[in-house]
């Protein structure tokens, strides 16, 4: 679009300076809007729509944009006001309120152990996260991929799609978690090679052999990061007569948690409430105790990996021996988890970098990869 400003002024010689300046500003605005509309420039807050990936997790939900990287990471929590029958807070704000809610409020975690237990709340949470991630940057609707829980039903799949379209998507993809984890970990899923992905999330552990963009063999168990926390809480209550909360259990897991025996066990002081007296109490824990507490949970994950390997076709199994097992998800950060799987299976096991984010990253890149495979 080209406008001859000089010709405009020649045709309107009687205009004042102020009127001429006003005309110039109008012409500039019209020209810029035209350029944006036709795609000839991309400036300011108006940007071409990027693909968006959403990892709807049991504990946390993450949003990844192909143009901006990880743009949102918030707890999958909602605070509901029973008096007004409206949602009071979502995400991080809801988490901060969770320990201080009044009797007329309810803390809701709409996703538990890979299953949507409150779909109405999940739908509102999904829309909130999408709106917050998109902001005002895009004037064109984005393609949105959603990594859905493993236990989702067909009816729920359709409802998630509809909610995502309503939130502003021009195209919606639903992604299986192991596929997203593989893409985020840098695995080329389009190649005819077998790749074994173990994604230890908050509510579930998803294990799958992937080849040529699809899942060949898979298994999902409801043992993951949250189960680790529960196991630690239960062990400390039984062996030390001490009540601790989930936040403390999480801190213990991060600081001294381990899946294997260590030459030099670590020690941590923990505070809680005495089971017998109800009074405050503190004890010292060792990493060996936490290994013992987690022994059953980590053992179930190893058994599930073993079971998938037993069902894998020989050619793909040979690929996995050569390429190794890829470990992802927040639960994969438990110290020694990769070493334990390697010990029990005899297959080289590697925990990917940014293990907590790979599912969100892979989900964000999914639409582009599927488009390339179909072309």
Summarised one tens digit per residue, pLDDT across range 72-113 is 999 999 999 999 989 999 999 999 998 788 889 999 999 888
Q: Which CATH architecture has domain 226-286?
A: Alpha-Beta Complex (3.90)
- Closest to 181 in 3D by CA, of 76, 62, 77: 62
What's the pLDDT score for residue 286? 97
Instruction: Please give the structure tokens belonging to residue 156.
Output: 């729920």
Assign residue 13 a region (left: φ > 0; alpha: ψ between -120 and 50; beta: otherwise).
alpha
Ranges of each domain in the chain = 5-38, 52-175, 188-224+295-356, 226-286
Q: 164: which residues sit within 8 A by CB, 6+ positions away?
A: 126, 130, 144, 146, 172
265 in Cβ contact with 287 (< 8 Å)? yes
Q: At residue 360, does pLDDT exceed 80?
A: yes
Nearest-5° angle of CA 15, CA 21, CA 24? Answer: 105
Instruction: Give the span between the Cα atoms of 40 and 31, in whole angstroms.
Output: 11
pTM of the model: 0.80
Query: Average of pLDDT values for 279-296?
Result: 97
Q: At residue 55, does pLDDT exceed 70?
A: yes
The strand pairing partners of 207, in sequence order, are 198, 219
What's the pLDDT score for residue 150? 61
- Closest to 221 in 3D by CA, of 125, 127, 306, 279: 306
Determine whether 276 is exposed, middle or buried from the number of CB atoms within 10 Å of its CB (0-12, 13-18, 19+): exposed
Query: Average of pLDDT values for 47-57?
Result: 78
Instruction: Give the span between the Cα atoms of 146 and 64, in whole angstroms.
Output: 10
357 in Cβ contact with 328 (< 8 Å)? no
Please state which CATH number belongs to domain 52-175.
Answer: 3.30.420.40
Q: At residue 292, does pLDDT exceed 70?
A: yes
Query: Which range (42-46, 55-59, 84-88, 215-219) has the least confidence?
Result: 42-46
Confidence of residue 375 (pLDDT cuts 50, 70, 90): low
Instruction: Give the span between the Cα atoms of 287 and 289, in whole angstroms.
Output: 5
What 8-state DSSP symbol labels residue 255? H
125-144 pLDDT, tens digit per residue, is: 988 998 888 776 555 788 99
Q: At residue 157, does pLDDT exceed 80?
A: yes
Q: At residue 221, does pLDDT exceed 90?
A: yes
Query: Which range (282-291, 343-352, 363-372) has the least confidence?
Result: 363-372
Please state which CATH number belongs to domain 188-224+295-356.
Answer: 3.30.420.40
Domain 52-175 identical in fold to domain 188-224+295-356: yes
What's the pLDDT score for residue 19? 61
Q: At residue 47, does pLDDT exceed 50?
A: no
For 346, half-sphere exposure in the C-beta direction (CA atoms, 13 angstrom radius) is: 4
Confidence of residue 4 (pLDDT cuts 50, 70, 90): low
Confidence of residue 40 (pLDDT cuts 50, 70, 90): very low
Average pLDDT over the chain reads 86
Chain-centre distance for alpha carbon 324: 24
Q: Interhelix angle for 287-311 vs 246-256, to 10°? A: 80
Q: At residue 346, does pLDDT exceed 50?
A: yes
280 in Cβ contact with 314 (< 8 Å)? no
């Amino acid at each position: 679009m080209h406008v001859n400003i000089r010709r405009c002024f020649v045709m309107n010689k009687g205009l004042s300076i102020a009127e001429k300046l006003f005309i110039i500003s109008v012409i500039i605005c019209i020209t810029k809007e035209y350029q944006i509309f036709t795609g000839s420039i991309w400036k300011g807050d108006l940007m071409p729509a990027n693909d968006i990936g959403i990892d709807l997790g049991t504990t946390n939900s993450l949003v990844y944009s192909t143009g901006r990287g990880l743009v949102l990471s918030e707890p999958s929590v909602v605070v509901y006001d029973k008096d007004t029958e409206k949602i009071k807070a979502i995400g991080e704000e809801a988490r901060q309120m969770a320990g201080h809610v009044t009797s007329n409020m309810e803390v809701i975690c709409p996703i538990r152990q890979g299953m949507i237990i409150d779909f109405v709340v999940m739908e509102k949470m999904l829309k909130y996260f999408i709106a917050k991630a998109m902001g005002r940057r895009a004037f064109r609707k984005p393609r949105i991929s959603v990594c859905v829980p493993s236990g989702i039903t067909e009816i729920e799949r359709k409802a998630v799609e509809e909610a995502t379209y309503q939130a502003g998507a021009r195209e919606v993809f639903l992604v299986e978690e192991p596929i997203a984890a593989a893409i985020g970990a840098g695995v080329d899923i389009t190649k005819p090679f077998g790749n074994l992905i173990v994604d230890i999330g908050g509510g579930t552990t998803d294990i799958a052999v992937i080849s040529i963009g699809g899942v060949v063999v898979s298994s999902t168990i409801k043992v993951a990061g949250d189960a680790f926390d529960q196991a630690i809480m239960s062990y400390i209550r039984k062996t030390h007569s001490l009540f601790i909360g989930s936040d403390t259990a999480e801190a213990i897991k991060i600081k001294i948690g381990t899946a294997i025996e260590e030459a030099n066990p670590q020690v941590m002081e923990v505070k809680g409430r005495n089971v017998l007296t109800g009074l405050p109490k503190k004890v010292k824990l060792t990493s060996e105790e936490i290994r013992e507490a987690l022994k059953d949970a980590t053992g179930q994950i190893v058994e599930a990996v073993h079971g998938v390997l037993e069902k894998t076709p020989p050619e793909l199994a040979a690929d996995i021996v050569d390429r190794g097992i890829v470990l992802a998800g927040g639960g994969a950060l438990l110290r020694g988890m990769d070493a334990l799987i390697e010990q029990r299976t005899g297959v080289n096991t590697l925990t990917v970098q940014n293990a907590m984010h790979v599912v969100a990253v892979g989900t964000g890149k999914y639409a582009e990869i599927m488009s390339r495979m179909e072309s």
